[in-house]
Amino acid sequence: MKTQLIYRLGEERDIPQLNELGQLSYGEFKTVLTQENWNKLNGHLSNVEETKSAFYSGTTYICEAEDQVVGMIYLIPNGNPTELYDKAWSYIRFLGVHPEYQGRGIARQLTNLCLLEARKTGEKTIALHTSEMMVKAQNLYASLGFVKHWEFEQFGKRYWIFLKSLG
């Protein structure tokens, strides 16, 4: 019998599981980064304050299986610029899926939930970033109509900002 996947809005009580899932879902990249760069990335992933900041800055969607958070994504509305994101853009952060649940369409469904919400709230452009080591993510985003906007380097790898026009 297949495990039932439930998609819902994240709640404050989910924050500890969101923090753990970030570390689990990005753990596969430990072997492709230098130890120094892995320590930097993992420092961000394990920082509860960064998890809380993403949670409280926008809308959090999760996928739950057997009362466990197995997928997550944050949608941040426009008006929250960073060094990577223009103030006119909404953007997606920290899409992550538990390794045991990858390949079940969870990432696509979570991303689609963000696209629906962004359209519903009148966003014009949605952005995200991904890297050369995240090939599955690149393919997912391209299949959903995101296009590479510009390139930068982080953690010793090539990263790209992807954009999708919603208007």
Name the band, by pLDDT with cuts 50, 70 and 90, for residue 3.
Answer: confident
Calculate the average pLDDT of the chain: 95
DSSP classification of residue 87: T
Residue 1 included in any domain = no
d(CA 42, CA 39): 5
List strand residue ranges (DSSP E) for the chain, in order: 6-9, 59-65, 68-76, 90-97, 125-131, 147-154, 157-165
What does the pLDDT read at residue 57?
Answer: 96
Residue 147 included in any domain = yes
- Whether residue 63 contacts residue 110, with contact meaning beta carbons closer than 8 Å, is answered with yes
Residue 127 included in any domain = yes
* pLDDT over 70 at 30, yes or no: yes
Quote the number of domains for the chain: 1
Calculate what percentage of the chain has a pLDDT beyond 70: 99
d(CA 69, CA 62): 7
- Read off the pLDDT of each residue in 51-67 and give the average, rounded to a whole number: 96
Angle at 92 between CA 140 and CA 165, to 5 degrees: 75
d(CA 27, CA 134): 12
Residue 26 included in any domain = yes
* pLDDT over 70 at 1, yes or no: no
d(CA 106, CA 102): 7
Place of tokens 């320590």: 39
**Domain carrying residue 132:** 6-165
What does the pLDDT read at residue 167?
Answer: 80
Question: Interhelix angle for 15-26 vs 35-45, to 10°?
Answer: 160
Name the band, by pLDDT with cuts 50, 70 and 90, for residue 2.
Answer: confident
pLDDT tens digits, residue range 105-121?
999 999 999 999 999 99
pTM of the model: 0.94
Return the CATH number at 148: 3.40.630.30
What does the pLDDT read at residue 161?
Answer: 98
pLDDT tens digits, residue range 123-158?
999 999 999 999 999 999 999 999 999 999 999 999
